[in-house]
Chain A
Amino acid sequence: MNTVLPALKRKLETLGESWYRFSRNPVSIVGLTFVLLVSFLAAFADYVAPYPQHAGRFVDFNNASQPPSWRHLFGTDLVGRDVLSRVFFAFRYSLWMAVVVLILVVPPGVVVGLVAGYSKGSWIDLILMRVTDIFLAVPPLILALAIVSVLEPTPLNSMLAISLMWWPWYARLVYSMVSSLRNESFVRAAEVIGASRPHILFRELLPNCLPAIFTKMSLDVAWVILLGAALSFVGLGAQPPTPDLGSMVSDGARYLPDLWWIMVFPALAIMVTVLGFNLLGDGLRDLFSLEEL
């Protein structure tokens, strides 16, 4: 019992210090606010959106192409759907895609980087990193386009496509960190004591890489959303009637400048999301740093 309390106390202290480091930069708070807002809207779109049914099959030509008003804060699109509600649901789709991609991408990438970096110089390192290089060599968008045009243009497939050329970046990141960390005294100490390889990889090295990984993940959310939006923009990705920020932008682009609200609001939504995650990523870096306060 008396071992739980000091450990808890220490954890709380650390959290307090981390928050202080994070919140010192007001921009990080802005990022966090945006991310929380977007996440909230994505999660509770069903309850918060004024016209949740507009996210699905719905048409109301009497109300189509209405400019922003009190009834429709972001106006309505060409078939009469409320843009605001659709934006909320589109957040859900974008975040969902980002989460799925990261889940698919981060574990394999990190493991490859750990193993290759620790056995740097050996044939394992050589093979793993050359494979990584191959995947890196292909331009992401083109690969994604190629894959999605061969397979069905479903959301899942575009996530798969993005995942396939995203994982090498994590491998690279972790590889470069581990290559230099493995020479540190604390790793040598673990080896000398007789720690097993999995212990060294996951208990000694990985925790030192996590800050960089988390920061990158946060920034990557922004990139994945943009990439997904780009795919939708060219017609691959979410199919109608699923609301997706990219397709909303592409559909609305044609009607500028008259029906500007159909494109501008989704574009702003993309901007807020991407900006939020970028700023949050910077803040995370501060949060994880080990500097003395």
Chain B
Amino acid sequence: MKEAPLLDVRDLTKLFKSPRGVVRAVDGVSFRLEESETVGLVGESGSGKSTVGYMIMGIVPPTSGTIRFKGAEIPADVSRRPRQLKKNIQIVFQDPQASLNPRRSIRRTLELPLSIHMAQRGRQRRQAVNELLRIVQLSPEYAYKSPTTLSGGEKARVAIARALASQPEVVVLDEPTAALDVSIQAKIINMLVDLQREMELSYVFISHDMSLMRNVASRIAIMYLGRLCELAPTRQFFETPLHQYTKMLLSSIPVISREEEELRPAKVSSEGEIPSPVNVPSGCRFRTRCQMATEICQQEDPLHIEVEPGHHVWCHLLSTGEKKQGKELR
């Protein structure tokens, strides 16, 4: 019998009420995270990927849907979760500048998770702080600095150290390097990959950077306006993308070499813009920008098909196995 996955997200949905109507930020998202793997959650603005991360952490309560950790359902609100659970699921926030309290020294920031979840006291705790700094390749004197004197890369490292302090099993990484330069990003990401191996961590890696995901994730899920479009092992995702949005995204990425250009799918040119999340298109939300949209795309929610084992798509065009060359309907 197959063991329960580390993290099992089912039908996660989040609706916000805004003055302009209901915002369907996340709509029926499901995926699994196994041990020691990295699932990449990709999307542009309005896709809801960060909201999914926040729901996993319990910071944003889902409107419906469940989250299971090692088979058991966990409370939706972080304040109701037992300490053991908080120890095991941690997050690195998007903007390291904002996620470190500017009025507290690095030492105090790192001591917080240690004091709650770990048993060391006094000198041992100080040593634990130094050990955390060492893991993220910062020297011990950083303990006494305040976040305002740190560079972007250093702040990112401290945020990562804090997330790892409780020795979690799952870490949600919400665009941890989005604000960093590419040469610093390379260092940080490599460090994250090494740490994953050493500490047997599983990552939910939220990002908009497809090239980065190509090299970091073992499986990738792509979201558009709150819904999953495609979910596949990384190689298949990039070599045989099936969803039109995936193809559009892949052909829009600016790359720096000819080999990468050739890898991109036949040009699905990017047209139009992401509709407002308050006014999501009926049926398939991508239909307003999809060149292959047909009538059924407007009327019904896209079907989920597992085209190959592990390769999931949510699209009408693939439902009968043949592409319907119907009228373009916007």
Query: Residue A185 at the B interface, CB < 8 A?
Result: yes
* A-chain residues with CB within 8 Å of residue B166 when the two chains form the complex: 193
Query: Residue B90 at the A interface, CB < 8 A?
Result: yes
Chain B nearest CB, measured from A189 CB (Å): 5
* B-chain residues with CB within 8 Å of residue A190 when the two chains form the complex: 101, 112
Residue of B nearest to A184 (CB): B98
Docked CA distance A185–B108 (Å) = 16
Residues of chain B at the chain A interface (Cβ within 8 Å): 57-59, 78-79, 83, 86-87, 90-91, 93-95, 98-105, 108, 112-113, 116-117, 126, 141, 143-146, 148, 159, 162, 166
Contact pattern, A 128-141, Cβ under 8 Å of B = 1, otherwise 0? 00000000000000
Residues of chain A at the chain B interface (Cβ within 8 Å): 3, 6-7, 9-10, 14, 184-186, 188-195, 199, 203-204, 207-208, 210, 290, 292
Docked CA distance A108–B124 (Å) = 37
A10 near B87 with CB under 8 A, answer no
Known A193-B116, A194-B83: A186·B101 in contact at CB below 8 Å: yes
B101 near A194 with CB under 8 A, answer no
The listed residue (A10, A199, A290, A292) touching B144 by CB distance below 8 A is A10
Known: A186-B99, A191-B79, A192-B86. 4 other contacts (CB 8 A): A184-B98, A191-B59, A192-B58, A192-B78
Known A6-B144, A185-B98, A185-B99: A193·B162 in contact at CB below 8 Å: yes
* B-chain residues with CB within 8 Å of residue A194 when the two chains form the complex: 83, 86-87, 113, 116-117
Chain A nearest CB, measured from B319 CB (Å): 40
Docked CA distance A9–B103 (Å) = 17
B91 near A192 with CB under 8 A, answer yes
B104 near A207 with CB under 8 A, answer yes
* B-chain residues with CB within 8 Å of residue A188 when the two chains form the complex: 59, 93, 99
A185 near B95 with CB under 8 A, answer yes
5 A-B pairs with least C-beta separation: A185-B99, A207-B103, A194-B86, A185-B98, A186-B101
* A-chain residues with CB within 8 Å of residue B58 when the two chains form the complex: 192
* B-chain residues with CB within 8 Å of residue A207 when the two chains form the complex: 101, 103-104
B57 near A208 with CB under 8 A, answer no
Task: Tell me which of A184, A186, A191 has the highest count of chain B C-beta atoms within 10 A of its own C-beta.
Answer: A186
Docked CA distance A184–B87 (Å) = 21
* A-chain residues with CB within 8 Å of residue B116 when the two chains form the complex: 193-195
Docked CA distance A54–B93 (Å) = 66
B113 near A193 with CB under 8 A, answer yes
Known A10-B145, A185-B93, A186-B99: A191·B78 in contact at CB below 8 Å: yes
Task: Tell me which of B79, B98, B117, B148 has the highest count of chain A C-beta atoms within 10 A of its own C-beta.
Answer: B98
Task: Tell me which of B87, B90, B93, B144 has the highest count of chain A C-beta atoms within 10 A of its own C-beta.
Answer: B144
Docked CA distance A21–B102 (Å) = 17
Docked CA distance A199–B102 (Å) = 16
Chain B nearest CB, measured from A36 CB (Å): 27
Residue of B nearest to A189 (CB): B99
Docked CA distance A10–B147 (Å) = 12
B104 near A203 with CB under 8 A, answer yes
Docked CA distance A191–B60 (Å) = 12
* B-chain residues with CB within 8 Å of residue A204 when the two chains form the complex: 101, 104
Docked CA distance A126–B129 (Å) = 41
Docked CA distance A199–B115 (Å) = 12
* B-chain residues with CB within 8 Å of residue A199 when the two chains form the complex: 112
